[in-house]
Structure formats: C-alpha cells, structure tokens
Structure 1
Amino acid sequence: MAVDVAVDGPQRFLGRDGKTEFVIREAQMGDLQDVVNINRRVLPENYPVWFFVEHLEQFPKAFVVAEVGGRVVGYVMSRVEYGWSNIEKGRPARKGHIVSVGVLPEARRLGIATAMLKRAMKALKTYYGASEAYLEVRVSNKPAISLYEKLGYRVVGRVPRYYSDGEDAYIMACTL
C-alpha cells in the first residue's frame, strides 16, 4: 500500500484489508488517556503520563494518533534532539527521535503504523527542521524492523541491554 501523507489536518485512509477506514491526525490533550492505555497494553516500556504531556506540548505536529470509528487505536510520539548525526558520523544534526509507537492488536496489519510514521517523519522535517530520524527497536522485533526498513531506516548501531529485561536494541536511522 502506497501511503501519501499530508502534514496538516486529519487524513483518511483505507486499510490494507480494503474495508477498514482510519484517520491519522495530530494528537490532542484529550487523547492522552487513550494513548497511555495503548502504551500500557502493547509495550513493555511504559512512560509516566507527564512524559506524554511534555512531548505533546513541545512537539505537537509530530505526535500523531490513528482512529478507527472515532476510537484512538494507535499513536506515534516523537521529539527533536540536537547532537551527532546517526547517519553521517562526525557531523552535528537536528534529529527526529521516534520515541514510541503503539497500535492495538485488533488494528494491526492495516497500514496504520506506516501512515502514522510517515506523518510524524514529515512533520519532524517540515515543522522542526530535522534532517534525519532515528529510533530504538528490540533486536528480536522482526516485524517492526521490517516496517522501519521499508520506510528507509537502516541499523546504525546496537545498544547492549537497552531494555529493562536486558534485551539489546538496534538504533535505526534514516535521512528525512
């Protein structure tokens, strides 16, 4: 499924199943309880509520949610950081950091994560001037790694024992 995303306003998509419609839009403060609930349900790494609030307040254009039938079923939370490039070693860069991605199990395999990530990445570049994006992913999470590779990310590093259960993380990065 080719996903062409806008950077402003809600955008409607037809899922890969050919029948489920979903909307990608910027998150609002009223969405945060749903976002926190999704995070708690689908990811072992959980953040305090203030962490979500801080990201939404500081980087609202790059914090997106997906809705199916008016219900929030997924989110991407991002921020911008300044530091050394993950792509061009030794060069300073403004980097978009994809902090957290979550989609409810019943809403997976529809193209929702792809559409949300493309929207967040476009916003990181357009609104916040990021030249690249990066994220951390469990080395065992083959479906996520495959998705990120399809979006242009490549493994640029490995962090031993990154996760609380001791699993390593790949650092994946792409040019925006």
Structure 2
Amino acid sequence: MEDHYTNCAKQRPNQRRLQRRQHPRAPPYYNDIVIGAVCCRIDTSENQLRLYIMTLGCLQPYRRLGIGTVMLQHVLRICDKDANFDNVFLHVQINNDGAIRFYEKFGFEIVEEKQNYYKRIEPADAYVLQKSFRVTNNNNQPASEETTSNNTDMMES
C-alpha cells in the first residue's frame, strides 16, 4: 500500500510526501495529518453476517488520488479473506451522486431508501448500498444450490 500512496502523490507535485505509517492498517497520512479513514463494524441483523461501513472518507484536497479506492479495497479484502460475510453495506445521502457512483463501481447496489435517516443534514434521506457475497432468496436465507444453479442457467440463456 505504501507504494500506492507514494505513486498517487506523484500525480500532484504539491503532495509528494504522502505517506503511510509503519503499521499496515494505519490510515493514510500527509505531513503527519490523517487524510483518510475507514471504520466498520460487524452486524448480525437479518440472520446474516454483515459488515457495516460506518464511515469512509478522505479530506477534499486528497480526493481523486485513489485513496478511497485503496481503503474500500482493504475492506473488501477483509470480507473476502474471512469468507463468512454475506454482504457489506453502508448508508449514503440520497443526493451524494459521487459517492453512489464510487460504490457502484465496486458492485454495490441501492437496496433500500431510508426516510429521515440523518438528523442534522438535508436532505435527511439515505440510500442503503449493499454488495452481496452470497446469493440469498427473498427470506434473506442463503439460496439452495439448486436455486443458485437455476438462476445461473436463466442468466446464461
């Protein structure tokens, strides 16, 4: 990851000293200032093991350098390595088109709209974006192997 941050910083001459701390999970730094962070928690609602992204962000001057991508890929690698997560999800304000497009590039889909989710910002509504790792049926139960193969056959037709 250190090489990635160094390479990203080379894209803008005034940001050449973008660095990572020694710990491999440390947030990205620039001149001893944290410029990005991601925080997640495990959620066991809906009879599933899910990872909830509580926050993922990067300071405005350091956006579009790939830092958010690296942080999200790190989260997705954790899910992949664990192999027990059914999905990963988060909330995004409904007017945040940039964030919605960002997550859609990684396979997230809008699965729900929550009215009045936010208390102190407008608009107060949020989308729930989710990336599923397992196919589930309508009851949020893992689909049987037979159902999964039938769905695959229909998609290939």
Q: Do they superpose with TM above 0.5? A: yes
Instruction: Provide closer, same or farther for how the CA distance between residues 72 and 150 of structure 1 changes in structure 2, counting only shifts above 3 A.
Output: same
Q: How far apart, CA to CA, are the structure 1 residues paired with 2:68 and 2:74?
A: 10
User: 1:17 touches 1:110 (CA, 8 Å); kept in 2?
Assistant: no
Instruction: Provide closer, same or farther for how the CA distance between residues 162 and 22 of structure 1 changes in structure 2, counting only shifts above 3 A.
Output: same
Instruction: Give CA deviations for 1:35-66 in whole Å, capped at 9, x if unaligned.
Output: xxxxxxxxxxxxxxxxxxxxxxxxxxxxxx22
Superposed displacement of residue 75, structure 1: 0.3
The yes-or-no answer on 1:78 pairing with 2:78 is no
User: 1:79 touches 1:97 (CA, 8 Å); kept in 2?
Assistant: yes
The yes-or-no answer on 1:18 pairing with 2:11 is yes
Superposed displacement of residue 101, structure 1: 1.2
Instruction: Provide closer, same or farther for how the CA distance between residues 160 and 26 of structure 1 changes in structure 2, counting only shifts above 3 A.
Output: same
Q: How far apart, CA to CA, are the structure 2 residues paired with 1:137 and 1:162?
A: 10
Higher alpha-carbon Rg: 2
Give 1:167's aligned amino acid.
Answer: A
User: 1:16 touches 1:110 (CA, 8 Å); kept in 2?
Assistant: yes
TM-score (norm 2): 0.68
Matches within 5 A, 1:83-98: 83-84=45-46, 92-98=47-53
Deviates more, 1:146-155 or 1:116-125: 116-125
Q: In structure 2, what is the equivalent of residue 173 of structure 1?
A: 130
Q: How far apart, CA to CA, are the structure 2 residues paired with 1:18 and 1:162?
A: 37
Q: In structure 2, what is the equivalent of residue 110 of structure 1?
A: 65
Aligned-CA RMSD value = 2.4
Q: In structure 2, what is the equivalent of residue 140 of structure 1?
A: 95
Note the residue ranges of structure 2 that are not aligned, 5 or more in a row.
134-157
Residue from 104, 114, 131 that aligns with 1:159: 114
Residues paired across the two proteins, number: 123
Q: How far apart, CA to CA, are the structure 2 residues paired with 1:70 and 1:128?
A: 35
Aligned residue for 2:45, secondary structure, equals strand
Superposed displacement of residue 93, structure 1: 1.5
Give 1:12's aligned amino acid.
Answer: D
Superposed displacement of residue 122, structure 1: 1.4
Bigger strand share = 1
Matches within 5 A, 1:30-49: none
TM-score (norm 1): 0.61
Bigger RCO of structures 1 and 2 (CA < 8 A, at least 6 apart): 1
